[in-house]
Chains A and B, each alone.
Chain A
Amino acid sequence: MTPPSTPAPNAASAPPLLDLTRLTRRYGSLTAVDDVGLRLPPGARHAVIGPNGAGKTTLLNLIAGTDRPDHGTIALDGADITRTATARRSRLGIARSFQQPSVISELSVLDNVVLAGWPHHPKRRGAWRRPSRHRLHAESARGHLETVGLADLAHRPASTLSHGQRRMLDLAAALAGNPRLLLLDEPAAGLTDGDIGRLLGILGGLPDSVAIILVEHHVEVVADFATDVTVLAAGRVLVTAPTREALAHPDVRDAYHDPGTTARSGSSDRPTPEATEATEARG
Chain B
Amino acid sequence: MDLLDAHLVPAVDGVAFGLLLFVVAAGLSLAFGTAGVLNLSHGMLYAIGAYTGAALSDGTWGGLALGLAAGTAAACAAGAGLSAATAPLARRGHLAQALLTFGLALVGGDLLIQLFGADELPVRVPEALDSSVRLLGHRYPAYRLCFIVMAVLLAAFGTWVLTRTRMGAAVRAAADDPQMLATTGHSPRAVHTGVLAAAGALAGAAGVLGAPIIGPGPGTSENVLMLSLVVVVLGGLRSLWATLAAAVAVGEVQTLGVSLVPDLAPYLLFAAMAAVLVLRSRFAEPAAAHGPEGPPPDPVARLRRHLAARLRRRPGAAVAATAGDSAGSSALLRASSRREGAGYPSISLPFSLPRPRGAARRAAPLLVLLAVLAALPWVLDAYTLSLAGSALALGLLAVSVTVLTGYAGLPTLGQTAPFAVGAYATANLAQAGWTMGPVQIALSALAAALFSALTGPAVIRARGTTVLMITLAVGELTGAVVNRLKSVTGGADGLVGFPATQALWGGEGMFEESELYTFALVVAAVAVAVTLLVLRSPAGKLLTGTRGAEARMRASGHPVGRYLLVAHICAGALAGVGGSLMVTVQQYLSPADVGFEIAAFALLAAVIGGTTSVIGALMGAGLIVVTRDWVAGSWPGHGPLLLGVLFVAAVYLLPRGLAGLRGGSARSGPEPGLPRPGEQHPPAPDPTPAGPAGKVSP
Q: A: which residues have CB within 8 A of B?
A: 28, 51-52, 57, 61, 64-68, 86-88, 90-91, 95-96, 98-108, 110-112, 114-120, 127-129, 131, 134, 138, 155, 157, 159-160, 163, 170, 173-174, 176-177, 186, 189-191, 217-220, 223, 244, 247-248, 252-253, 256-257, 264, 269-271, 275-283
| B340 nearest CB neighbor, chain A only | A106
| A276 nearest CB neighbor, chain B only | B323
Contact (A248, B551) CB under 8 Å given A61-B292, A189-B688: no
Q: Which 7 A-B pairs have the closest CB atoms?
A: A190-B685, A283-B327, A189-B687, A90-B557, A282-B681, A281-B293, A119-B557
Q: Would you call A116 and B675 a contact (CB within 8 A)?
A: no
Q: Would you call B343 and A278 a contact (CB within 8 A)?
A: no
Report if B326 contacts A (CB, 8 A). yes
CB distance from A249 to the nearest CB of B (A): 9
CB distance from B590 to the nearest CB of A (A): 40
Q: Which of B294, B323, B684 is the one whose CB lies under 8 Å from A98?
A: B294
Known: A106-B338, A119-B556. 9 other contacts (CB 8 A): A68-B286, A100-B681, A105-B548, A114-B541, A174-B555, A247-B698, A269-B320, A278-B688, A283-B328
- Give the distance in Å from the alpha carbon of A116 to the alpha carbon of B450 in the complex: 31
Q: Would you call B352 and A110 a contact (CB within 8 A)?
A: yes
- Give the distance in Å from the alpha carbon of A20 to the alpha carbon of B381 in the complex: 74
Q: Would you call B692 and A219 a contact (CB within 8 A)?
A: yes
Contact (A52, B537) CB under 8 Å given A104-B545, A106-B544, A283-B325: no
What residues on A are CB-neighbors of B354 within 8 Å?
131
Report if B430 contacts A (CB, 8 A). no
What residues on B are CB-neighbors of A223 within 8 Å?
698
Q: Would you call B551 and A173 a contact (CB within 8 A)?
A: no
| A51 nearest CB neighbor, chain B only | B692
Main secondary structure of the interface of B (DSSP, over half): loop
Could you say which of A96, A157, A248 has the most chain B C-beta atoms within 10 Å of its C-beta? Answer: A157
- Give the distance in Å from the alpha carbon of A215 to the alpha carbon of B274 in the complex: 42
CB distance from A63 to the nearest CB of B (A): 11
**Number of chain B interface residues as a range:** 35 or more
Q: Give residues of chain B (673-698) contacting chain A, Cβ–Cβ below 8 Å.
A: 673-675, 677-682, 684-690, 692-693, 695-698
Q: Which of A115, A157, A190, A191 is the one whose CB lies under 8 Å from B342?
A: A157
- Give the distance in Å from the alpha carbon of A186 to the alpha carbon of B323 in the complex: 23
CB distance from B481 to the nearest CB of A (A): 34
| B680 nearest CB neighbor, chain A only | A282
What residues on B are CB-neighbors of A270 within 8 Å?
322-323
CB distance from A45 to the nearest CB of B (A): 17
Report if B631 contacts A (CB, 8 A). no
- Give the distance in Å from the alpha carbon of A85 to the alpha carbon of B537 in the complex: 27
Report if B429 contacts A (CB, 8 A). no
Could you say which of B560, B687, B689 has the most chain A C-beta atoms within 10 Å of its C-beta? Answer: B687
Report if B268 contacts A (CB, 8 A). no
Q: Would you call A217 and B689 a contact (CB within 8 A)?
A: yes
CB distance from A158 to the nearest CB of B (A): 9
| A253 nearest CB neighbor, chain B only | B696
Report if B640 contacts A (CB, 8 A). no
What residues on B are CB-neighbors of A86 within 8 Å?
290, 554-555
CB distance from B30 to the nearest CB of A (A): 22
- Give the distance in Å from the alpha carbon of A57 to the alpha carbon of B293 in the complex: 10
CB distance from B432 to the nearest CB of A (A): 36
CB distance from A175 to the nearest CB of B (A): 11
Report if B295 contacts A (CB, 8 A). yes
Q: Which of A98, A115, A220 is the one whose CB lies under 8 Å from B545?
A: A115
| A189 nearest CB neighbor, chain B only | B687
| A191 nearest CB neighbor, chain B only | B685
What residues on A are CB-neighbors of B551 within 8 Å?
66, 98, 102
Report if B365 contacts A (CB, 8 A). no
Q: B: which residues have CB within 8 A of A?
A: 285-287, 290-295, 297, 301, 309, 319-331, 338, 341-343, 349-354, 537-539, 541-542, 544-545, 548-549, 551-560, 670, 673-675, 677-682, 684-690, 692-693, 695-698
Q: Which of B324, B352, B537 is the one whose CB lies under 8 Å from A155?
A: B352
Question: Can you pick out 25 interface pairs between chain A and chain B where the beta carbons lie within 8 Å of each other?
Answer: A66-B286, A66-B555, A67-B290, A90-B555, A90-B557, A98-B293, A98-B552, A99-B293, A100-B680, A102-B549, A105-B338, A106-B342, A114-B538, A118-B542, A128-B538, A157-B343, A190-B684, A217-B687, A219-B696, A247-B697, A256-B696, A264-B690, A270-B322, A282-B327, A283-B330
| B351 nearest CB neighbor, chain A only | A108
Q: Which of B328, B553, B678, B687 is the one whose CB lies under 8 Å from A115?
A: B553
What residues on B are CB-neighbors of A253 within 8 Å?
693, 696-697
Q: Would you call A283 and B544 a contact (CB within 8 A)?
A: no
- Give the distance in Å from the alpha carbon of A61 to the alpha carbon of B301 in the complex: 20
What residues on B are CB-neighbors of A100 within 8 Å?
293-294, 680-681
What residues on A are CB-neighbors of B325 within 8 Å?
279-280, 282-283
What residues on B are CB-neighbors of A186 within 8 Å?
687-688
What residues on A are CB-neighbors of B684 within 8 Å?
163, 190
Q: Would you call B322 and A280 a contact (CB within 8 A)?
A: no
Contact (A128, B542) CB under 8 Å given A102-B293, A105-B342: yes
Could you say which of B294, B343, B551 has the most chain A C-beta atoms within 10 Å of its C-beta? Answer: B294
- Give the distance in Å from the alpha carbon of A278 to the alpha carbon of B301 in the complex: 15
What residues on A are CB-neighbors of B323 within 8 Å?
270-271, 276
| A219 nearest CB neighbor, chain B only | B695
Contact (A66, B291) CB under 8 Å given A115-B553, A116-B552, A283-B327: yes
| A269 nearest CB neighbor, chain B only | B322
Q: Would you call B696 and A269 a contact (CB within 8 A)?
A: no
Contact (A115, B698) CB under 8 Å given A66-B551, A160-B670, A253-B693: no
- Give the distance in Å from the alpha carbon of A86 to the alpha carbon of B680 in the complex: 24
What residues on B are CB-neighbors of A98 within 8 Å?
293-294, 551-552, 555
Q: Would you call A176 and B556 a contact (CB within 8 A)?
A: yes
What residues on B are CB-neighbors of A218 within 8 Å?
695
- Give the distance in Å from the alpha carbon of A159 to the alpha carbon of B335 in the complex: 12
Q: Would you call A189 and B544 a contact (CB within 8 A)?
A: no
What residues on A are CB-neighbors of B687 within 8 Å?
99, 186, 189-190, 217, 278
What residues on B are CB-neighbors of A114 within 8 Å?
352, 538, 541
What residues on A are CB-neighbors of B560 within 8 Å?
87
